[in-house]
Structure 1
Amino acid sequence: MTLSDVARRAGVSAITVSRALRDPEKVSPQLRETILRVVEEMGYVPDLAARALASKNSGLVGVLSPGLTSHAFLALIRGIEDRVRPSDLRIQYANADSNSEDQLRQLRFFMSQNPAGLIHVGQIGDPAIDDLLRRAPCPVVEIMDVSRQPTDMAIGIDHRLAAETATRHLLAKGYRRIAMLGGAWDFRARRRQEGFQAVLEEAGLFDPALVLSIDSSTSVGLGCHLLDRLRNEFPDADAAFCHNDDIALGVLFECQRRGLAVPGDFGICGFNDLEYAGFAFPAITSVRVPRYEIGYRAVDMIIRASGSGAYPAKIVDLGYQLVSRGSTARDG
């Protein structure tokens, strides 16, 4: 079964069939529906090796991230998969460790397969990784943060601005001894720390001793541990801005174990706005990140760049939203 067989059955050219599979926006909805129906009826499966020879790429989109096992990335992955589904591209994931050597090894492996595109959520700003991405023979999209000039394209939010908004919210609610609690300090965590620190310095309230982290994957258990450590060392601490909602939920559990009233005695703000944040008791204030849209549009940027050789926007800032809930609901 070949592309030409499908084209003859559908009454169109082989190029039109290829376009309908790879770049569906360039084909009218009615024609695309006809072609996809014929593809399904005939059981056509693209010959990826033949296409790689003809188009100089394998149809593979590599996704590299140190956090694919995190709950926060599930919506991102759904977005990626939904955008890839109507095309004839395929996705290959690599859950690299946070260290640069592991990420370089994974990126070289992706590039050895002549990929159609790369999506990178890793050590942003590492000179060796940046250099490798600049030499990539395909479109590259750095996702999640847009606060620096990317090697090619970027989509996400400005994590520093988001942290500034969250910290100002805690100040407005009357909290003054505000801690920052987190895990490994990747680029996005560092940008959030910068925003957190800038706002508190402006208010004359920044204490570096209240920035606590452990170089490990974040979890509910880590949040419990960090809150226990914080209150043992600084019993006057009255709020925490957490790297993510996993840590925020752990902080909430530990507050309840200690008998600390939330939000009266202690305020909590998370990050990402995962579903459970709105159903905890009290519900957790969090920064909502459009993770599904980031994943969906990252693939779309690759498809468009591959088709035309250029994308009209190199940096796409999708913005964020602070969702204020019960964990900070006290008068300022």
Structure 2
Amino acid sequence: MTPTDSRQSEPAERISSGLVDVLTDVHGAGDVTVTDLTRVPAGASRQTWAFTATIDDRAHPLILRLDLPGAREDSSLLREAALMRAAGAAGVASPTVLAAGEDHPDIGGDFVVMNRVDGETIPRKILRDERFASARTRLGAQLGHSLARLHRIDPDTIPGLPDEDPLESWQRELDSIDRPLPTFEFALAWLANRRPQESGRALVHGDYRVGNIIVDDDGLAAVLDWELAHVGDPLEDLGWMCVKAWRFGGAGVVGGLCDLDEFVGAYEAGSGATVDRDAVFWWQVYGTLRWGLICVHQAQRHLSGATRSVELAAIGRRVSENEWELLNLLGAHV
């Protein structure tokens, strides 16, 4: 083994040792081994590792989630674990959380261990591969029904959920950026002047979209990535699904999959609510602005040296894409 190979293997060996300790505690007495620990190249704000845990001669394919170095101070994997548990109890397709903890010396910080759900997460494959042709015909409605179940979760059962005015929080974010972004300023003013009446207060997933779900041959297999969950207007999640960035070249306004009526109709059927389509458009504009500002933030993490990452740097170029999309959206609504 070369010195470089040795340095690369050390974190995996240390994490494997920590996982053995954690899973032994969870399952009590028994023989636990961890093999095939592999870093999965997915996500810009979390580390994801796939591995196999053999417990008393039975193999279990599992996933480990970790915070990245330099992650935001308000990030909480323990809250994410609580959300996945609540989602599963509410009938939302979700991985099963096996263990969660904070500041583990070997694993490397806060962590969540969950079962590995078979299926596809890559949007291009979900939207184009023949394997998912049948799943695509039902996926838009499944996402609407699932979101209705999600919004029935009592947010008071999840400690520490952020709850603040969305426009005020993004105004602060915009004010903190050290370069002019006039399109974002214009969009924020448009949103402030046309804000719809709040439809209610609910648990909002915050990143409900293609790319944060697992799809199998039957359609929706799991909802992932709860790190941006908060308390807010449930229509925020519907508008976020309509943001152009999450269509990945697909024709449907909802995640490249279907039109708004199919998605919202399924949500209405599952929730019993009547959805104001104009309010969904407002949240679509809000979501486009929000994603643009997140792109600025992610690029700054790389540029500042807090987290050196080609992926974070590449996200920075999407700032201009969101500026263009905002101008297109607002062109007929000034």
TM-score, normalised on structure 1?
0.30
Higher alpha-carbon Rg: 1
> 1 or 2 for the larger relative contact order (CA 8 Å, sep ≥6)?
1
